[in-house]
Every structure is written in C-alpha cells, then in structure tokens.
Amino acid sequence: MVRLGNGPIYVFDASAWLDCDGRAGDNRIPTILDRLFAEGRICHPKEVVGELERPGAVSDWVKARRTALNFPRGLPSEYAQNVGLVQWRYPAMGKVLGIKRRADPFVVAVALTYNCDEQPWIVVAGETLNHRPRRKIAGACDELGILCITIDQFIEREMQ
C-alpha cells in the first residue's frame, strides 16, 4: 500500500486544474493546494500536464511542481492493468486528442490502483454524470467504486 500523507489523496484531472484557473478570485484554492501539496496529498498522472496548455495561475503552479505531482513513480503492474481495464471498459473516455492521449483513463486508474479503506483516493474532475456518463471520469469512477468530486465539493471538504 502506498501512503502519501494523512487523509485522503486527491487525484486531479486536467479539467479540475482548469476549473481552478477559472476561479482566479477564489483565494481559498491556492491556500488549499499549497497545504495539500506540502502534506503530499495531491497528485495526478503525468499525462495530465500535457492537457494544461492554457496559461493561468493554477496551470503555472502545477507546471512548476509537475515532477513532484506526477504519480505513480514507476509503474506497478496493477496500475498498468487498470489503465488497460479503464480504456477497454470506457473506450470513448480515452480517445486521442490530436497527437496526444487523453489523461482521463490514467486518472481513474491511479485512484483505482491505490484506493483503500485506510486512505481513500478521490478523483477531482470538472465533469459530472450529467451528459454521456460513460465518456466521463465521473461515470467510470461511479461504476468502479471510486469517489469522484467537483472543485466545489473539493473546496467544501477541505475547508471543514
């Protein structure tokens, strides 16, 4: 079992980072992110960084810390198997964007691989179950038993 800090580990999708950038006036976000980063409780698979092309304060924050945020380091066989499982069960979620692979299956696979009762791994995404849930991170997480929350829910959880 991998333990990164005390409390849940948040696995961020690019859509969540971009949602943070869209809330530049919300001073709670940088405070929460800095605290979680210091505690080792926030991460994303390296594929997420490739989707952060728009400039913004949070995107810049992520890019400056990308090596420390990238997870997992090394590839346990279960993680690689889970990436394949997610891509097989939800093929529309992992479609290629131009020359780049989408990070969504990797985000779900990280949480699926390391989630446990002692330390939940929670996906943070800017997507909901509303439109086309089988193409969305939230739909895959729901079916695989992984908690997926929005930025608003993330802020609410961490402000308590």
Structural domain boundaries of the chain?
9-159
Q: Is the pLDDT of residue 132 over 80?
A: no
pLDDT in tens, 115-131: 988 889 999 998 766 65
Instruction: Give dist(CA 125, CA 95) in Å, integer.
Output: 17
pLDDT of residue 123: 96
pLDDT of residue 159: 86
- Measured CA to CA in angstroms, residue 131 lies from 1, 139, 140, 143 at distances of 35, 10, 13, 16
pLDDT of residue 8: 94
pLDDT in tens, 3-58: 566 889 999 998 898 888 887 677 888 889 999 999 989 999 988 888 877 777 78
pLDDT in tens, 89-98: 988 887 655 5
Q: Is the pLDDT of residue 99 over 50?
A: no
What residue ranges in 2-158 does DSSP mark as E strands? 9-12, 42-43, 121-124, 148-149
pLDDT of residue 1: 47
CATH number for the region 9-159 comes to 3.40.50.1010
pLDDT of residue 100: 53
Nearest residue to 123 via CA among 68, 86, 80: 86
pLDDT, average across residues 67-80: 82
